[in-house]
Amino acid sequence: MKRKELLESIAQKTGVTVTEIDRVLKALVKIIQQALKSDDKVLLSGLGSFQSKKRKAHLGRNMKTGEAVKIPEGKKVYFKPTPLLRKIVLSQPPAQVQPNEEKQTTI
């Protein structure tokens, strides 16, 4: 589902204009970004939580050469779904996706 489809779906369910929903969604994304930058955890009931965590420096591998590469300390963003979301997703049979076909939602 692309951003436009998401906005139209929300507009249809709520009766709010797509323009207004777009404005709110942009504000939501910006607030979540700022919270994660400040190391705050963001909880969205029924969906899950977003959290940034520090990642220690470690060794990785260059996928082409197999050479060891030092990866510096940094932050990583994690999403943990609620039990309800996990149950909804896991209760569905896997989608039949063709090899070069991807399903994605862009917000």
Query: Which pLDDT tens digit goes with each residue over 32-72?
Result: 999 999 999 999 999 999 999 999 999 999 999 999 999 99
Helix, strand, coil percentages in the chain from 3-state DSSP, rounded to 5: 35, 25, 35
Contact status, residue 32 vs residue 20, Cβ threshold 8 Å = no
**pTM, entire model:** 0.72
What is the CATH topology of the domain spanning 41-90?
HU Protein; Chain A (4.10.520)
Tell me the C-alpha distance between 63 and 65, whole Å: 6
Tell me the C-alpha distance between 101 and 93, whole Å: 18
Contact status, residue 60 vs residue 71, Cβ threshold 8 Å = yes
Tell me the C-alpha distance between 83 and 85, whole Å: 6
